[in-house]
Copies of this chain bind each other. A is one copy, B any other.
Amino acid sequence: MKIAVDAMGGDNGPTTIIPGVERARDQFPDIEFLLYGDEAKIRAEIKNDQRLTIVATSEEILADEEPVKAVRRKKDASMVVAAHAVKDGEADAIFSAGSTGALLAAGLFIIGRIKGIDRPGLMPTLPDFRTGSQFNILDIGANADSKPENLYQFAVLGNYYAKNMRGIERPRIALLNNGTEPDKGDLTHKAAYQLIAAEKDFNFIGNIEARELLNGRADVVVTDGFTGNAALKSIEGTAISILHLLKDSIMNGGVKAKLGGALLKGSLGTLRDNFDYSRYGGAVLLGLKAPVVKTHGTASPDAVYYTISQIHDMVSKQVVADVVDYFSRNELARRPEKND
């Protein structure tokens, strides 16, 4: 398989991306990489060029650029040229650590949506703190405004991902809502509940409240991008705040606290590791015609490696192909298909 890599994305570009790519190359003998970006900068980071092909590009999309304009205007940007390679069948999937908005725009305008999907959803894999397993949640921010049909489609996408990628036979699907009763929520979530509950293919377990997200109740959590974004960022912000507070209270708690902190170092490290979800891979833009996966702009070479491992799995396990097949079987014929 061939993976197109936007080598310029992220805060450090090739410096962190190339070591991650080389680790993945050494691990997976069936991957060939196409590396898009500044040829000299990329080459400077490469230790062994086996199965790595550099495709020189002259532009980059910056984090603060208006995504749609940037993708349309910067035709020789690493991310744009990499997306065209996927569209033209030269690569099977695309990896980027660049701007989420730009990657979404490139995915929508260049690679294109799966027929039957109105909007792709952005989906990370998060740790479940109670059982030590993981769950997927989508959309966490690809869309600001969502309709009930979009949430239904996110359930289809998440269901396939959990089945094919994670090997869960009957993934437990839940809808993030402001209460557990079926009639809870705003108009969009009430209607989405009905659409999802009516689908016999789903193992729908009903609504889930944000307080329960980390407790392992669901394999796939469906949410609109606005609420999902607030929930995920609240989780991240709280975890960061508490770990800071903990560190401060150890550092400022005198000799006793410092000694306690030293004795607990291993346990606290495990706690931090539990929260570092980059080892489960990146965030997938599900609903596009090929795997489009991004990692944080601040990702380490390890996070790049984990994300490429995930892409390798997605291509091998034909996650996207199965979704295409599902929608082409017209199981959605009874639902109105809207294009925006």
Contact = CB atoms under 8 A, between A and B. Distances in A.
Given A141-B178, A234-B230, A260 B249 contact: no
Given A145-B186, A257-B264, A257-B266, 15 more contacts: A129-B245, A141-B178, A189-B226, A209-B233, A210-B237, A211-B234, A213-B234, A215-B241, A227-B230, A230-B234, A231-B231, A235-B235, A242-B242, A249-B271, A259-B263
A246 interface: yes
6 contacts: A129-B242, A144-B187, A211-B233, A211-B236, A227-B227, A260-B262
Nearest to A128: B241
A268 B247 CA distance: 10
Give the bracket for the number of chain A residues in contact with chain B: 35 or more
A209 B230 CA distance: 7
A267 B260 contact: yes
Copies of this protein chain in the complex: 2
A237 B234 CA distance: 10
Contact of A145 (B187, B234, B253, B267): B187
A322 interface: no
B129 A244 contact: yes
A270 B249 contact: yes
Contacts of A257: 263-264, 266-267
Contacts of A238: 214, 234-235, 238-239, 242
